């Protein structure tokens, strides 16, 4: 027999209604789309006795090599100076190819799958817009404080350029990165190992920040998880890409 709860019984109808509305909002806040694994997602192959998922393994290998090639500056001409605007534009184009075009080719040609399953869609756009705007507003004073630190100013000042050039460079760079980390890798892993895939996909993103100012480097795990959660919640990389471009552009403008 159910035991009456005197606290609930004493609560006014208005209080119960507010609690119910809050509960519904909280449920909607974390209501991610269903990441249903298809037969292609579940397909495996054997490697020396290891049964490995084909798509997740391919995504991990591709993103790993993309990070290594990018970090080693394999394709960087020796005569490009430091972090000058022309260098950053070259890197952005290189990353657009490494982190954008190549992963997309993997999805289309090897997986023979829809890019929308890997975040190239508007997704839950109402939540995406709201969460993106709220995140950008919350991060603005933090980024402006961060931009005043001496090591941050020394690192980013060289990259200063006209605003439109900065936005184009950062959009090429970061949209591709979001697709590789939060689209291809994360969404493949989530369908294979569940939500922990959000965390696992953040690790190569963190390693890609080696060499940046210490505060930025050590905060990247949290930031990467936030971008990952946003992509997981909305089923889209669009909103994290916009936020990422805004934050990097803001810090570069602020140090100039």
Residue 8 predicted with pLDDT over 50: no
Task: Give the mean model confidence (pLDDT) for residues 107-117.
Answer: 97
Task: Give the mean model confidence (pLDDT) for residues 55-64.
Answer: 97
For 84-111, letters b (16+ CB in 10 Å) and e give ebebbbbbbebbbebbbebbbebbeeeb
Task: Supply the pTM of this predicted model.
Answer: 0.89
Backbone torsion region of residue 49, taken as left when φ is above 0, otherwise alpha when ψ lies between -120 and 50, otherwise beta: left
Contacts of 32 (CB under 8 A, 6+ apart): 232, 233, 234, 235
50 vs 168: CA distance, rounded Å: 43
Task: Give the mean model confidence (pLDDT) for residues 228-233.
Answer: 97
In this prediction, residue 6 carries a pLDDT of 54
Phi first, then psi: what are they for 50, rounded to 5°?
-90, 125
Label residue 30 by pLDDT band (50, 70, 90). confident
Average pLDDT, the chain: 92
In this prediction, residue 32 carries a pLDDT of 86
Residue 106 predicted with pLDDT over 80: yes
Task: Give the mean model confidence (pLDDT) for residues 211-215.
Answer: 92
User: What are the strands, taking DSSP E only, across the chain?
Assistant: 44-47, 50-53
Backbone torsion region of residue 194, taken as left when φ is above 0, otherwise alpha when ψ lies between -120 and 50, otherwise beta: left
């Amino acid at each position: 027999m159910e035991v009456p709860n005197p606290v609930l019984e004493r609560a006014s109808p208005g209080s119960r209604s507010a609690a119910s509305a809050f509960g519904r909002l909280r449920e909607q806040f974390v209501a991610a789309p269903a990441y249903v694994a298809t037969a292609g997602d579940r397909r495996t192959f054997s490697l020396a006795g290891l049964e490995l998922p084909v798509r997740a393994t391919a995504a991990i290998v591709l993103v790993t090599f993309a990070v290594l090639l990018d970090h080693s500056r394999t394709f960087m001409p020796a005569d490009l100076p430091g972090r000058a605007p022309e260098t950053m534009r070259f890197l952005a184009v290189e990353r657009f190819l490494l982190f954008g075009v190549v992963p997309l080719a993997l999805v289309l040609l090897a997986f023979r799958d829809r890019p929308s399953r890997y975040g190239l869609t508007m997704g839950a756009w109402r939540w995406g817009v709201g969460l993106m705007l709220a995140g950008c507003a919350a991060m603005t004073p933090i980024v402006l404080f961060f931009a005043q630190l001496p090591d941050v100013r020394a690192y980013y000042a060289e990259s200063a350029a006209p605003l439109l050039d900065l936005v184009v460079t950062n959009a090429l760079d970061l949209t591709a990165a979001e697709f590789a980390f939060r689209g291809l890798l994360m969404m493949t892993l989530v369908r294979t190992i569940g939500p922990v895939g959000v965390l696992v996909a953040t690790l190569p993103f963190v390693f890609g920040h080696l060499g940046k100012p210490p505060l930025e480097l050590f905060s990247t795990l949290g930031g990467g998880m936030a971008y990952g959660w946003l992509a997981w919640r909305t089923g889209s990389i669009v909103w994290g890409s916009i936020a990422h471009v805004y934050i990097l552009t803001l810090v570069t403008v602020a140090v100039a």
